[in-house]
Amino acid sequence: MSEQSKKVEIKPAGGRLGILTPGMGAVSTTFIAGVLAVRKGLGLPIGSLTQMGTIRLGKRTEKRFPRIKEFVPLADLDNLSFGGWDIFEEDAYESAVKAGVLEKQLLDQLKPELQAIKPYPGVFERKYVKKLDGPYVKQYTTKWDAAQMVMADIQQFIEQNKLDRVVMVWCGSTEIYLKPEPVHQSLDAFEQGLKENHPAIAPSMIYAYAALKMGVPYANGAPNLTVDIPALYELAKETHTPIAGKDFKTGQTMMKTILAPGLKARLLGLQGWFSTNILGNRDGEVLDDPESFKTKEESKLSVLEYILQPDLYPELYKNFYHKVRINYYPPRGDNKEGWDNIDIFGWLGYPMQIKIDFLCRDSILAAPIVLDLALFMDLAKRAGFSGIQEWLSFYFKSPMHHPDLYPEHDLFIQLMKLKNTLRFMMGEEQITHLGADYYEYYK
Ligand SMILES: NC(=O)c1ccc[n+]([C@@H]2O[C@H](COP(=O)([O-])OP(=O)(O)OC[C@H]3O[C@@H](n4cnc5c(N)ncnc54)[C@H](O)[C@@H]3O)[C@@H](O)[C@H]2O)c1
């Protein structure tokens, strides 16, 4: 894509958009109930760029700062329908009450709408999420059959809700760590693998395959490999479908990608960064299994390496010690506490310390991300974008990227990239922040 300012042709956002989430636990139900609450005027969509963010256009003297949702054609919250899959049969109301994130008093005001949202039975195998077992699962002989069943569910969801478009956002549990294998390298090999029940094809990949096959954009909220494999890049290209991932950037990693760019900007050195968390929700329980934690750990660790570039700044960042821990501690539920101890050094090597104690709410931070991803993935599809949507790195701990590029983790660069992509779509000039023409100092 060239960077000239010529408007991209974007299909209109009218009609109804369906949002499907494999996994209808804490994040998914906090997102769904939140959108319903916003629609009824019971709360504000805080944390959502699509709903509350603005974008500067043109020169600073022009004072043009439209809301993003007024600048690009996005689906309206009133035109969204929700659905999903889970391995427990509870409807969205019961699941939200159980998750304990939003107050029951608020959920009761949304009860009929939430009760009407019932999951389809999940595609699930316990070997991919060891700490979880549920009764509400599809029965199939091959993974190929399972994919056909997911496609039938999507079709039914479209018909029942009279939808014009659908997107899928993975909100299911974190699966065990999988490495790319030959079966992931081409679409042919992958389809063969589906038919032969290849063990390197996890349930999340089956949902992703079904979605992409039907041209449904797929965003991955967990660190699972899922759609980050050549076979599914190929399918995404073939069906002109956007894909994005991995792992919603909330809590501690969000703080890291805010703080680390600041330390680097001021050329302050880093000796070590120790991060630990306690959380007591089901996600925490799943991550208590070493194989699921390994997937999460990989996703969390790479952030600092890429931001700090130790190869370019060996005196400041070579060999810094980085540790990330997640501890399952049931009393806290969804209200995580994350501690960071950061050992830095400044002028002449004098040491200093920073301590962070973030008492956050995991699903409260993740819900607006699900909304933005759903709306932006739908926009991308209507704009004719396909394959990896690197401009949505802003939302991910471990952003998917072209194999020849390194990922961009700095939250502020990610935001600039996102907004410049929106400007590009709408034929507005890119903003470089040079600003020299206000001063004429080069004349
Ligand atoms: N909350 C955050 O801040 C945050 C940040 C980054 C990533 N995530 C990821 O988002 C995901 C959801 O988090 P959560 O807090 O909602 O967890 P949760 O445990 O409350 O919900 C996950 C749901 O997925 C279901 N599930 C698991 N495997 C499934 C399958 N194969 N098919 C259908 N359903 C399946 C589970 O039964 C559960 O209801 C997790 O993978 C988590 O790691 C969350």
In percent, how much of the chain has pLDDT > 90? 81
Residue to probe by mutation, ligand 1, list 138, 171, 218, 397, most atoms within 8 Å of CB: 171
More confidently predicted of 438 and 187: 187
Domain boundaries, the chain: 17-248+364-425, 252-359
In percent, how much of the chain has pLDDT > 70? 98
| Contact yes or no for 241/377 (Cβ under 8 A) | no
Whole-number Å distance, alpha carbon 237 to ligand 1 midpoint, is 27
Alpha carbon dihedral 360, 364, 365, 370, in 10-degree steps, equals 160
- Of 27-36, 210-219, 328-337, 415-424, the one with minimum mean pLDDT is 328-337
Q: Tell me what pLDDT residue 295 has.
A: 75
Q: What six digits make up the tokens of 332? A: 């806290």
Which one-letter amino acid corresponds to residue 167? V
Whole-number Å distance, alpha carbon 28 to ligand 1 midpoint, is 8
Q: Could you read off the pLDDT of 248-305 as tens digits, one per residue?
A: 999 889 999 999 999 999 999 999 999 999 988 887 888 788 877 887 777 677 889 8
CATH match of 252-359 with 3.20.10.10: no
Whole-number Å distance, alpha carbon 26 to ligand 1 midpoint, is 7
- Of 131-135, 159-163, 182-186, 255-259, the one with minimum mean pLDDT is 131-135
pLDDT tier at 1 (50, 70, 90 boundaries)?
very low
Q: Tell me what pLDDT residue 293 has.
A: 80
| Pocket residues: Cβ below 6 A from ligand 1 | 22-28, 85-88, 99, 122-124, 129, 132, 134, 171-174, 203, 221-222, 247-248, 250-251, 281-283, 362-363, 365-366
* Whether pLDDT at 60 is above 70: yes
Mapping DSSP onto H, E and C, the string for 248-311 reads ECCHHHHHHHHHHHHHHHCCCEEEEEEEEEEECCHHHHHCCCHHHHHHHHHHHHHHHHHHHCCC
- Which residue has the least CA distance to atom 18 on ligand 1? 25
Whole-number Å distance, alpha carbon 369 to ligand 1 midpoint, is 14
pLDDT tier at 3 (50, 70, 90 boundaries)?
low
Give the other-Cβ count within 10 Å of 418's Cβ.
Answer: 23
- Which residue has the least CA distance to atom 40 on ligand 1? 173
Mean pLDDT value across residues 203-217:
98
Residue to probe by mutation, ligand 1, list 85, 220, 257, 283, most atoms within 8 Å of CB: 283
Q: Which of 3.40.50.2300, 3.40.605.10, 3.40.50.720, 3.90.226.10 is the CATH number of 17-248+364-425? A: 3.40.50.720
Q: Tell me what pLDDT residue 443 has.
A: 63
Q: Tell me what pLDDT residue 380 has.
A: 98
Whole-number Å distance, alpha carbon 281 to ligand 1 midpoint, is 10
* Whether pLDDT at 172 is above 90: yes
Mean pLDDT value across residues 121-133:
91
Q: How far separated are the first and last CA of the chain, in Å rounded?
A: 33
